[in-house]
A and B are shown apart, each in its own frame.
Chain A
Amino acid sequence: MTTLVFLLEEPSAKDALEGVLPKIIPRDVRVEYLLFEGKQDLEKRMARKIRGWLDKHSLFVVLRDQDNGDCQVIKQRLMERCGEGGRPETLVRIACRELESWFVGDWQAVGEAFNLPNLHKQSAKAIYRNPDKLGSSVTELRKFIPTYQKRDGARRIGHHLDVERNRSRSFQVFVQGLNRLLAEQGAA
């Protein structure tokens, strides 16, 4: 049985994945989460965590926000850490610019999560056509949900996300990468 191990920079990413992963991966794939305390902590400790992981049937996925960094540089650095951990095939994905872009990419899901049925209309707006380009998607969410909080929001929205309709490019790339990773291992 395959296990997917997610290395994440903060708990809200786990909350979102717990909701959406059942729509992406087969049911017989086990999922584990390793939570770090921010980006520095993730980079510093990930290689050792990967190297020391006992279950050899595991596949690793590193997911972090881009924030202000350069996507390619970040990815390169994280790949190197995976190499140091002895698992260079590890999937590294960056949410641009932050995880919440995946939510802005699917206003219908946000609307369902917060019981704001009219919110899906926002998806017609030009600025939301490419949510990965937004400076801060949390700020965008707060325009409609003033008290929006990261964990609470991720937990509510995660299981409403639709894999097909999401407009976030980084979300789509994440889904494709995950499918490929599992296919290569003959699990999907």
Chain B
Amino acid sequence: MRIESIRLKNFRTFQDVTMRDIPRLCILIGANGTGKSTLFSVFGFLRDAMTTNVTAALGRLGGSRGFQEVRSRGCTGPIEIELKIRADLGRKGANLITYGLSIDEQNGRPVVAREILKYRRGSKGQPWHFLNFSYGSGEAVTNELESVKDENDLVREAQTLKNPDILAIKGLAQFERFPAVMALGDLIENWHLSDFHISRARPEQEAGYAEHLSREGENLSLVIEYLFKQHRPVFDTIVEKLKDRVPGITSVEAKPTEEGRVLLKFQDGAFEDPILARFVSDGTIKMLAYLTLLYDPKPHPLLCVEEPENQLYPTLLWDLAEEFRTYAMRGEQVFVSTHSPDFLNAANLDEVFWLAKEQGFTKIIRAKDDKQVAAYMAEGDKMGYLWKEGLFRGVNLR
């Protein structure tokens, strides 16, 4: 599954922005305040809207004046989000699913002004509309099945949602059987944001259980323990990689204590006694956290990572970029925001997008579309180097 394009209108700093041809590894750069985190917040918003409703999701993003705060300043239209997702639905070729959401305000309350889901079966022809709702009512297909060969055979039923701020993909039970909705739901529900904070990951957790590294990394020791017990080969790979990256480290051990806490111990080849996790360097913990995230036996369909370069030695960043790419190539997708030229030096031309502000709103530029940058890359330059030379026009402007 892969997000192929994102179109945003009136969503905070993105007054009208389209990202096309998004690669499996997508690297975002841009000055502070240009909207890198805001882009990630779109996925968070969709998840909140799906698990609760649009009103609550807007509230979480923008406080009590949710809609007004989230809508771009000085704009009047609805907030619009459109995702195009390439997903393998078990048929020949990957299908392109389009999900569009338009949120407006009615009598001071947020409502879903329009929600559509359409996709093409096969590579040709017009997309089939599976869902078309506005203001709480609309039409939805009830028999999307393998046996349906022609769009005319689809049975559409008029339906009404309990509330106009509920998403139809959530509110209508029949969708659970439809592969396209399942794919979309999986993406929205299981995307993951990693915003690792060293101070959170350092203290050992109370005994517990965790399979995935959390957003800020505070359950690191639990995940290590889980991998140690349940996925030994993965654990061994992580330790091997860590040994390569951090001079001196020869092994890592996750040990439950008598009080039921989990201690991480690092063995330095030069010394007999292992070092407790709380005494090893920030960089070591951070590298361990990323390896734990990237070698997850059950990877996230979409992984968003905020500034992975913090605390890491610059020469490690190329490897980290390669590892994000490998994760993405295994079938998932990774978005990374970064301020590091060293990280960017490992990037391919088509992997980089830069965000720049123009008259208060953000535009997103694909590096590939800049002829000058593309020409220099063809001559063997590196992305980070070109960025430092000031060739990403507009990126340094506020």
Contacts and interface: CB of A to CB of B under 8 A. Distances in A.
Interface string A174-185: 000000000000
A151 B323 CA distance: 10
A150 B322 contact: yes
Interface string B286-311: 00000000000000000000000000
Given A11-B315, A37-B384, A41-B385, A149 B378 contact: no
Nearest to B319: A151
Interface string A44-84: 00000000000000000000110111000000000000000
Contact of A37 (B323, B325, B345): B345
B379 interface: yes
B96 to A, nearest CB: 23
Chain B contact surface mostly: helix
Contacts, number: 54
A152 B380 contact: no
A34 B376 CA distance: 22
Chain A contact surface mostly: mixed
A39 B379 CA distance: 7
B329 interface: yes
Interface in B373-395: 376, 378-382, 384-385
A146 B244 CA distance: 22
B330 interface: yes
B190 to A, nearest CB: 21
Contacts of B379: 39-40, 67-69
B381 A39 contact: yes
B330 A147 contact: yes
Nearest to A68: B378
Contact of B329 (A64, A147, A150): A147
A152 B346 CA distance: 12
Interface in B345-395: 345-346, 376, 378-382, 384-385
Contacts of A18: none
Contact of A152 (B322, B381, B382, B385): B322
A146 B318 contact: no
Nearest to B345: A37
A69 B376 CA distance: 13
A9 B345 CA distance: 11
B51 interface: no
B160 interface: no
A137 to B, nearest CB: 15
Interface in B307-341: 315, 318-319, 322-323, 325-326, 329-330, 341
Interface residues of B, number: 21
A149 B376 contact: no
B380 A40 contact: yes
A135 interface: no
Nearest to A14: B315
Given A9-B380, A40-B376, A40-B379, A151 B322 contact: yes
A162 B379 CA distance: 30
Contacts of B323: 149
Nearest to A11: B318
Interface in A114-139: none
A20 B326 CA distance: 25
B11 to A, nearest CB: 34
Contacts of A146: 329
A156 B315 CA distance: 17
A158 B378 CA distance: 26
B380 A38 contact: yes
Contacts of A64: 380
A151 B322 CA distance: 8
Contacts of A37: 341, 345, 381-382, 384-385
Which of A37, A68, A150, A151 is most buried by chain B, counting CB atoms within 10 A of its CB? A37
A151 B318 contact: yes
Contacts of B326: 147, 149, 152
A11 B319 CA distance: 10
Contacts of A151: 318-319, 322, 346
Contact of B319 (A39, A40, A69, A152): A152
Nearest to B382: A38
B319 A65 contact: no
Contacts of B345: 10, 37-38
A31 B380 CA distance: 25
Interchain residue pairs A-B with the least CB separation, the first 6: A39-B380, A149-B322, A38-B382, A37-B385, A38-B381, A147-B326
Interface of A: 9-11, 37-41, 64-65, 67-69, 146-147, 149-152, 155
28 contacts: A9-B380, A10-B382, A11-B315, A37-B381, A37-B385, A38-B380, A38-B381, A38-B385, A39-B381, A40-B379, A64-B380, A65-B380, A67-B378, A67-B379, A67-B380, A68-B378, A68-B379, A69-B379, A146-B329, A147-B330, A149-B322, A150-B322, A151-B318, A151-B322, A151-B346, A152-B319, A152-B322, A155-B244
Given A38-B385, A65-B380, A150-B322, 9 more contacts: A10-B382, A11-B315, A37-B341, A37-B384, A38-B345, A38-B381, A39-B381, A149-B325, A152-B319
